[in-house]
Chain A
Amino acid sequence: MASPTVTATLTPATVAPGGVLTLTVTHADTDRAALAVSITVTDSTGATGTTTANAVIDQGAVTVTSSPARAWTLVSSTLNQSVFTAIA
């Protein structure tokens, strides 16, 4: 299995104390895949019922630390990108 690849972007580059910092984390993994499972059941009369389930392989868990320490809040998230904010 491969390790995730990660990039991080912090804006603005310069901020006053008390200002808002936005961290955008973009991440990918060659093993990552979205898996959709479809199950069909057929009874003795030939009637069928179908259900589906979705799963993500190697979705990845994102954590953030900073020095000096700040409280980072997740404000949005997709499969490949997570956005956090903190007060400078």
Chain B
Amino acid sequence: MPTTLTVTATVTDAGGHVGSATATATIADGVPTDAEIATWGQTTTTVTSNTTYSSTSGQVVNGVHFDGARVSFTGTDITLNDCLITGDASGSALVSVTNTNARRIVLNRCVIRPKTPGNRNGIQGQNFIFNDCLIEEVTDGVSVAKSGYTAAQSGWATGVELHRVVIRRLSRWTGAAPGDVHPTDRVTHNDGFVQAGGSGTVLDRCLIDARPALQVGHVLLQSAAGVVYTKAQAYALADTAARISVPIGSQPGGWPYVAPWDSNGTGLYSRGEMSGPDFSAMMILSSQGPSTDFTVTGCEFRGGENMVNGGGNPWVTGAHLGVWTDNRCDRSQANQGSGGNNTNTYRFSGNWAGHITFPLTGPGANTYIDGATMTGVQF
């Protein structure tokens, strides 16, 4: 439950006379609400060129709209408050913390959302801490990777903490040929959060919804009569409403080149009708050594072909996948499994049983959003 913090300021003059006033604020708990999100990224100044912060002396940046501009970091102990970062027209992530000198980069109440449509990620790198931030309409939301990784660095500390971060509305792109939008595929593979390796990442009360952005990228819905919806209309469609893509090749330049999503046959948005293929809320990989020692607590996950996909991160001797408690999820996975309480939610898929703290019942249990006990979690 949120905590109300009450502050009393008292002023005493030379004669001992006293005046006082109080003010309150709410210390939020749980995943962020839409009302809270709407208060983030309130900017007061605008910057229109790509910006690199290199300070090492505790620089604080407040309320900047990076309009058509990316932000990168090469310094340490830099904080951005209430910024809106929209990136440029390149394929680079909107925020980059890939420079190996960057440390303890903190973003508070920031919004990361592209201005120009394009196949690019929200933030990429390591050593960053987000508090109360929104990332949306990008291909991958958060991509944790170590620049210049070598095998000798296996087990590296990611330095990544996400506290009450919302990642949603992933932007799906299609390609005329394999390799155009994905190294081997004709559709992007979208991950709310993806980690290439490393240890110690914290996800605390985050909301990661891996379902595609509507009327963004190459997902454009229309009515049965062929009238393209507005974004508001698309997001307001009923759970049972047909999701109809504009025809392949119908848009300027010939997109969508292939079907931007595959129906899973349920006809229900809440049962993953638009959640596949190749969407995930969390993709856990080991291309930079094993990914281990997560703290994932109080989070809410939605969508994904398979919601949390750890198939690329098999257990290795001595590894522990960390502590996963009090997380909740919906049933909108494209891969429905046998349905009910057995959709494809957590697929660690690498002999992690006994090497992860992941209660299914009792204190700290990970459950469906309605509290139902999960079956079929694949350790």
Bound pair (A, B) = yes
Q: Which residues of A contact B (CB under 8 A)?
A: 1-21, 23, 25, 27, 29, 31-32, 57-68, 70, 72, 82, 88
Complex alpha-carbon distance, A63 and B12, angstroms: 8
13 pairs, CB–CB < 8 Å, chain A vs chain B: A4-B12, A4-B18, A6-B11, A12-B39, A14-B39, A15-B132, A16-B27, A16-B28, A17-B28, A17-B29, A23-B9, A57-B14, A59-B14
Complex alpha-carbon distance, A58 and B5, angstroms: 30
B338 at interface by CB-CB < 8 Å: no
Question: Which residue from chain A places its CB closest to the CB of B10 in the assembled complex?
Answer: A63
- Contacts A15-B25, A65-B7 given; 7 further ones with Cβ under 8 A? A1-B15, A4-B12, A6-B19, A23-B9, A60-B13, A64-B8, A68-B3
B23 at interface by CB-CB < 8 Å: yes
Taking a contact as CB atoms closer than 8 A, the residue among A21, A25, A58, A66 that contacts B21 in the complex is A25
Q: Which residues of B contact A (CB under 8 A)?
A: 2-3, 5-15, 17-29, 36, 39, 81, 108-109, 131-132, 163-164
B residues in contact with A60, CB < 8 Å: 11-13
Which residue among A3, A61, A70 has the maximum number of chain B CB atoms within 10 Å of its CB? A3
B residues in contact with A3, CB < 8 Å: 13, 17-19
Complex alpha-carbon distance, A10 and B164, angstroms: 21
Which residue among A14, A19, A31, A32 has the maximum number of chain B CB atoms within 10 Å of its CB? A14
Question: Which residue from chain A places its CB closest to the CB of B19 in the assembled complex?
Answer: A4
Taking a contact as CB atoms closer than 8 A, the residue among A19, A23, A59 that contacts B7 in the complex is A23
B residues in contact with A66, CB < 8 Å: 5-8
Question: Which residue from chain B places its CB closest to the CB of A3 in the assembled complex?
Answer: B17
A residues in contact with B26, CB < 8 Å: 13-15
Q: A9-B23, A12-B109 are in contact. Are A62 and B11 (CB under 8 A)?
A: yes
Q: A1-B13, A64-B8 are in contact. Are A20 and B108 (CB under 8 A)?
A: yes
Taking a contact as CB atoms closer than 8 A, the residue among B6, B11, B13, B132 that contacts A31 in the complex is B13
A residues in contact with B23, CB < 8 Å: 8-10, 23
Complex alpha-carbon distance, A60 and B36, angstroms: 37
Complex alpha-carbon distance, A83 and B84, angstroms: 25
Complex alpha-carbon distance, A21 and B29, angstroms: 16
**By the criterion CB–CB under 8 Å, are B28 and A14 in contact?**
yes
CB of B163, distance to nearest CB on chain A (Å): 6
**By the criterion CB–CB under 8 Å, are A6 and B9 in contact?**
yes
Q: A8-B7, A17-B27 are in contact. Are A58 and B14 (CB under 8 A)?
A: yes
B residues in contact with A4, CB < 8 Å: 11-13, 17-19
**By the criterion CB–CB under 8 Å, are A18 and B131 in contact?**
yes
Complex alpha-carbon distance, A13 and B15, angstroms: 34
Q: A14-B39, A18-B131, A19-B108 are in contact. Are A88 and B19 (CB under 8 A)?
A: no
Complex alpha-carbon distance, A12 and B229, angstroms: 36
Question: Which residue from chain A places its CB closest to the CB of B22 in the assembled complex?
Answer: A8
Those 4 A-B pairs whose CB atoms lie nearest each other, nearest first? A4-B19, A10-B23, A8-B21, A3-B17
B residues in contact with A7, CB < 8 Å: 21
CB of A63, distance to nearest CB on chain B (Å): 5
Which residue among B14, B25, B26 has the maximum number of chain A CB atoms within 10 Å of its CB? B25
A residues in contact with B109, CB < 8 Å: 12, 19
Which residue among A11, A21, A67 has the maximum number of chain B CB atoms within 10 Å of its CB? A67
CB of A70, distance to nearest CB on chain B (Å): 7
CB of B6, distance to nearest CB on chain A (Å): 5
A residues in contact with B13, CB < 8 Å: 1, 3-4, 29, 31-32, 58-61
A residues in contact with B163, CB < 8 Å: 16-18
Taking a contact as CB atoms closer than 8 A, the residue among B3, B6, B11 that contacts A25 in the complex is B11
B residues in contact with A19, CB < 8 Å: 108-109, 131-132
CB of B160, distance to nearest CB on chain A (Å): 15
Question: Which residue from chain A places its CB closest to the CB of B81 in the assembled complex?
Answer: A20
Complex alpha-carbon distance, A38 and B352, angstroms: 81
Question: Which residue from chain A places its CB closest to the CB of B129 in the assembled complex?
Answer: A18
CB of A86, distance to nearest CB on chain B (Å): 8
CB of A61, distance to nearest CB on chain B (Å): 5
